[in-house]
Chains A and B, each alone.
Chain A
Amino acid sequence: MTNLLHSSGCGGDGSKDLLRYSRNFSTITEEEFETLQNARVFVAGCGGLGGNLIMHLLRIGIGHVTAIDGDSFEPTNLNRQLLCTVDTLSHPKAETAEEYAAKVNPDVDFTAIRTLLDETNADVLIAGHDLVLDALDNIGSRRILAAACDRAGIPLIYGGICGWSAQVSVLPPGTAAARINQIYIPGTAISNKSCLSFTPAFCASIQTAEAVKLLLGKPSELNGNLLFADLLESEWELIPFFND
């Protein structure tokens, strides 16, 4: 295969483009990098989790990224959402994500769609992607996304945050809806929206690591288990899904 860092086609501007990935190598091989460059990843949400996920996907060099969000930034987002700054207040989150992507890595085929995920658009939105990352902020939308992933045969990397706590799991196609129903049993409601900035950053980092592992065919303990991390107590619980 072509040596990506030293091929003759990488002179001038090309060298600059590949230099941006030079510190990725040895951690991942050039062949694995090509796999990531060909990957199509969908990010549901551009808020606390989504902003961090997008940042990681861009810097790693995922080739094709689609991100959706129907909201605009507001002052309450400033404490934790990477893409929310005083300059982007009241701007649509999707539009801001697209501007951010162009600044961080214009080589990524990045598509932002200003819409909220619902039962009428979920199947169409995720179609054609290799992987879906959950960066949603409510249980109802998560159930819709999980069901759509099951129908489409696309793996879902679930992430959720609250306060000092984060949850992550890799949900293979056919298991997502059932496992989301185990993570949020009927009757559960989200009343606490408090969250500190490091919690979404932590959660998104683990989700991205799981995304890269999944795309590269590496095994994961979070495939079949739910990680429940409590950053206040420094506790890490792996909860198995015994009874799907």
Chain B
Amino acid sequence: MIEVRLFATLRKDRGKVMQLPASEFSDGVSILEHFAIPREEVAIFLINGFHSKPEDPVKDGDILAIFPPVGGG
């Protein structure tokens, strides 16, 4: 399984922590598509705590943390 943790506004209508079958997802992009998260709404994309990008591969046991942009001032 792949654990996906969403933060702040990304949780709306999606949830906080979800488990996905690893066999159905090859990279972060496919997971974003699963949750219908637009690419521009992803600012921080962590795989097992490491700063990554959605194009990076994912595998069974990975934990993803996805944060939206917090860029106002």
Contacts and interface: CB of A to CB of B under 8 A. Distances in A.
Interface string B41-62: 1111110011101000000000
Interface residues of B, number: 23
A162 B40 contact: no
Interface string B25-49: 0000000000000011111111001
Contact of A189 (B40, B44, B51): B40
B73 A48 contact: yes
B69 A237 contact: no
Nearest to B39: A187
Q: Looking at chain B's contact residues, is the secondary structure mostly helix, strand, loop, or mixed?
A: mixed
A160 B7 contact: no
A112 interface: no
A228 B69 contact: no
B69 A162 contact: yes
A120 interface: no
Given A165-B70, A183-B44, A192-B9, 9 more contacts: A47-B73, A48-B72, A162-B68, A185-B44, A188-B41, A188-B71, A191-B41, A230-B7, A243-B50
